[in-house]
Structure 1
């Protein structure tokens, strides 16, 4: 018995046992024909695979018996046939079409052949839609859209169109593979940009896709990205009668006849079924839902066909980007009907929750939110705008990656240099010997000139003796300092700090006759101590340097101005009001005299303007500071060589003024500009990161604040050391953000490390340590460990009382915290 006959017997046997008068499901009723809706000739006996008796049996079968269309079940299920195309395996199916891999004998190439499913061969609306898809796809000439080579009807009557065969993986498979391997997001974003560019082209042709999803995007073996399945595409601006979704009355009747009830919804991925309407029908009528739940826009879910525009596809792009970022769809645990209902109502808040505090770049998260806006007016206007945003993000990412590579290379160089540290000390001693030899040669040459010039013999001899003596003294000084720090004497772990400390006592009284040499050495030592975190020693060396330079004759004003500026810098960083006043006075003198000596646009004049502005910020003279920074930027921009100036440093300071004036949007934009500037130094970027982190803290954007503060902390720890004042300052700032955002578990671990580092640099009851202990108690309370918090506060009060007295404000603050805790109990 044939398969068709066997299925027919099964149906007849079931019908014989059915209760008399079993009603037919309305969606399985026999199609009625009238003069104005009949689209096919009446069936004759023997016409087609379904006999009249079997047709009667079919009409009586309730739809709940099987979730299928019985005319399709009993129809010929063989492959389409054609003398031109050698039909291979099926490579896809969905909607109203099947796709086969075929060999085109005429063109001698492998192609993809899409054919109309046999159950729709008598459905005029389905045939029209299928041909419209082939024609419309064929008009879209873009590398991201598979070209259509031919379309029409095969010799066996099957509608078809042939197109490029794309072999590779779907974007859905790539996303799943990334989840499994935790791979980089970068490759997926590149694919997303290509998809956006392709859809941008379609939008420029007034065509919308309406079914964008990862399953409809193919990535070929060589990276080519193709947007597939344009079966639901629609050309904007069409008249209602030409609109494939504005179905005629006869089409609606045919569609109703072909529908079957939706089975019990499965819990899982809402895209698994691939149906295009809530009822599971492969065709649509005006008012039906067109698209895939989880990727369709709210207006699309409501069936507002006439109001759809390019922003429908923008929503689909947003849903794809969401899946790339989070690894999940918008409604992973909802049935199809639930997903459509939530989309229709714009109920997306819970769906978008995974984007909150997402580790991906904020630009991508913001774009995803915009694309998935419930109101179409809040989305990007079309795919071209989405593509531009992704392009700008990619360009920014490439700049950051290049900068990171440069920094990595520099770090490797520093590591190599660190390994060579002992060798350079020994090598430097040898170099000094060479310098001494060169000095001897100079002396010899001068003596020779003195002999040749009898009239200048006395002067030449004096000069030679002075030069020789100076060289000798400098060599002796350096030999003593560096020789005392050789690894053979101090061990192989000798540090720069130890070498610098050794230089101080050796310097006293060595260059009384040569103040310029002493001034230069002491200023260098002052700078070293400043960045080693010793501002008091740095200030002392700067003042001694300034006194030495003032004794030089003739006076070298530029050396004096440079020393005054550095002294002002260390005074500003120490932070009490008396230091600010002196710092302001010194830097005002430096700016005024530098302008007179070098001109308004010299790089040292611009630096003096910027440095004076930083002091004015500390003294809250914000308007005057802003005027200086803007004036400096104008002069930089007007220069023919702006690269010689430190523009990012001025920008950071201007952003600080905006931040302190409450102009946070402007400040954030400037900080981000500096972070993305290739010419900005590590120090300048660190300033931008730490200030941006503090501003975001004030704005209660805690996750973003912590991200930038953590980056600053890592930079400072790498460059200055684990216990440098700047590193510890970054740790304290992070502690405050963790406290206010109630991240108590993270805060507890962070404070353990922070307190350990601070204890090695500060007295036991210093302000930073007391603050950290107070935050530790708060963290314990927040975690419900009230007894531990009480014991900790009691120990803190005892520590402060023993060090600074029971009436000290830190002790009183800790007592107040303890009283509040005990009162709550």
Structure 2
């Protein structure tokens, strides 16, 4: 039953996986007890399925239990305990609880380095996860240092063409890109795709491979379709990007549901493409949907909600709706200060956006 559930999960059939995993967990508790290693494994599997559906609260509750029991039964340095700690950190990160995620990931990394060595795949995974948490907080330098190490060790251990190495290469390229290091980013992206990433062929080949292997509706295929759309958008090919994004959105809504995080990201991406084509009304309708759903699902102060709020302010500004833009920008700034701190880059960007709105509203120009 567990194996079938994992097969469902690997195909993105979250609901089917969840139903089976709930049964497995209940029966394992009754037969083996709540603290048995098999029961903890089933609990962890169900938590990951909840997380894949964006049910952060349910996932967190189970993962906290697993971690506490694993510590008591197996010890803090046992591989299963470290895996549980890493999974809980991932759920914290999904909820924008960066500090909690960072603290756990540092522990996992230190213990895995001591227990398994610096080049072990699990150690590299921990290093990569910590780098992503730094990345999400705008700590580009810290993220870059770790990602460079991960990439070098992954190349040496797994080879340049291993999927994990290519993933690490892509992550480092994004960090370079966020720091404006275009040349370094491009060099990595060329290597990662096998040809220039800005061309259609390279990204398209990856997408066709995913379609053939997993099917058109698999979450991984949808992710690569969305990545290809981003590549088109980067080159100003808005029409091509829009066609792909409409497909991704339709399939996400059917397969994952309207409120699933990937669906909301797809809506946001399509709205961005509409905005770049000057289709303000279409963009606004989509951004309002994303904002409402993220508020309901994540809360008003979650970083993703604040991002949606900020995106909507840009559309209002593009249409000269200064009052609506200003009201949202004030909320974004207050929420960013409270959640992320006054010196965080998103807070500073929000502050800048609010200031920039005034000259446009008053018909003046800042030099």
TM-score (norm 1): 0.33
Q: Distance in 2 between matches of 1:668 and 1:550?
A: 35
Q: Distance in 2 between matches of 1:611 and 1:526?
A: 20
Corresponding residue for residue 795 of structure 1: 327
On the 8 A contact 2:89/2:105 being kept in 1, the answer is: yes
On the 8 A contact 2:105/2:130 being kept in 1, the answer is: no
Q: Distance in 1 between matches of 2:94 and 2:306?
A: 22
Corresponding residue for residue 696 of structure 1: 232
Of 127, 138, 141, the residue aligned with 1:567 is 127
Deviations 1:548-588 (A, max 9, x none): 33454xxx449843232343145245253123323323314
**Does residue 756 of structure 1 match 2:292?**
yes
**Does residue 772 of structure 1 match 2:312?**
yes
Of 732, 737, 742, the residue aligned with 2:268 is 732
**Does residue 677 of structure 1 match 2:216?**
no
In the TM superposition, 1:651-670 aligns within 5 A as: 653-654=193-194, 657-659=196-198, 664-667=199-202, 669-670=204-205
Of 348, 356, 362, the residue aligned with 1:813 is 356
On the 8 A contact 1:580/1:615 being kept in 2, the answer is: no
Of 156, 162, 166, the residue aligned with 1:610 is 166
**Does residue 426 of structure 1 match 2:26?**
yes
Deviations 1:647-685 (A, max 9, x none): xxxxxx456x521xxxx3434643553454335793442
Q: Distance in 2 between matches of 1:736 and 1:702?
A: 10
Q: Summarize the Cα distance change of 1:674–1:536 in structure 2 as closer, same or farther, 3 Å threshold.
A: farther
Larger fraction in strand: 1
Q: Give the structure with higher Rg (CA).
A: 1
Q: Distance in 1 between matches of 2:89 and 2:257?
A: 16
Q: Distance in 2 between matches of 1:668 and 1:801?
A: 37
In the TM superposition, 1:276-425 aligns within 5 A as: 414-425=14-25
Q: Distance in 1 between matches of 2:279 and 2:100?
A: 39
Helix, strand or coil: the match of 2:213? coil
Q: Distance in 1 between matches of 2:130 and 2:219?
A: 16
Structure 2 regions of 5+ residues with no counterpart? 1-6, 48-56, 177-181, 343-347
> CA offset at residue 811 of structure 1?
1.2
Q: Distance in 2 between matches of 1:410 and 1:516?
A: 27
In the TM superposition, 1:407-486 aligns within 5 A as: 414-433=14-33, 474=36, 478=40
On the 8 A contact 2:316/2:322 being kept in 1, the answer is: no
Corresponding residue for residue 541 of structure 1: 104
Corresponding residue for residue 577 of structure 1: 140
On the 8 A contact 1:797/1:815 being kept in 2, the answer is: no
Q: Distance in 2 between matches of 1:670 and 1:510?
A: 48
Deviations 1:599-658 (A, max 9, x none): x58xxx7234313321342224246525753xxxxxxxxxxxxxxxxxxxxxxx456x52
Helix, strand or coil: the match of 1:763? coil
Corresponding residue for residue 379 of structure 1: none
> CA offset at residue 809 of structure 1?
0.9
Q: Distance in 2 between matches of 1:432 and 1:714?
A: 43
On the 8 A contact 2:147/2:172 being kept in 1, the answer is: yes
Helix, strand or coil: the match of 1:495? helix
Deviations 1:165-211 (A, max 9, x none): xxxxxxxxxxxxxxxxxxxxxxxxxxxxxxxxxxxxxxxxxxxxxxx
Corresponding residue for residue 109 of structure 1: none
> CA offset at residue 753 of structure 1?
0.7
TM-score (norm 2): 0.66
Q: Distance in 2 between matches of 1:808 and 1:474?
A: 52
On the 8 A contact 2:317/2:357 being kept in 1, the answer is: no
Of 250, 259, 265, the residue aligned with 1:722 is 259
On the 8 A contact 1:609/1:628 being kept in 2, the answer is: no
Q: Distance in 1 between matches of 2:104 and 2:267?
A: 29
Work out which structure has the larger RCO, using CA pairs closer than 8 Å and 6 or more positions apart in sequence.
2
On the 8 A contact 1:800/1:810 being kept in 2, the answer is: no
Q: Summarize the Cα distance change of 1:704–1:558 in structure 2 as closer, same or farther, 3 Å threshold.
A: same
Of 745, 759, 773, the residue aligned with 2:281 is 745
On the 8 A contact 2:108/2:126 being kept in 1, the answer is: no
On the 8 A contact 1:739/1:775 being kept in 2, the answer is: yes
Q: Distance in 1 between matches of 2:76 and 2:325?
A: 59
On the 8 A contact 2:63/2:84 being kept in 1, the answer is: no
Larger fraction in helix: 2
On the 8 A contact 1:723/1:757 being kept in 2, the answer is: no
> CA offset at residue 775 of structure 1?
0.8
Q: Summarize the Cα distance change of 1:714–1:525 in structure 2 as closer, same or farther, 3 Å threshold.
A: farther
On the 8 A contact 1:526/1:539 being kept in 2, the answer is: yes
Q: Which runs of 4+ in 1 moved over 6 A?
A: none
Q: Distance in 2 between matches of 1:548 and 1:796?
A: 44
RMSD (Å) for aligned C-alpha atoms: 4.5
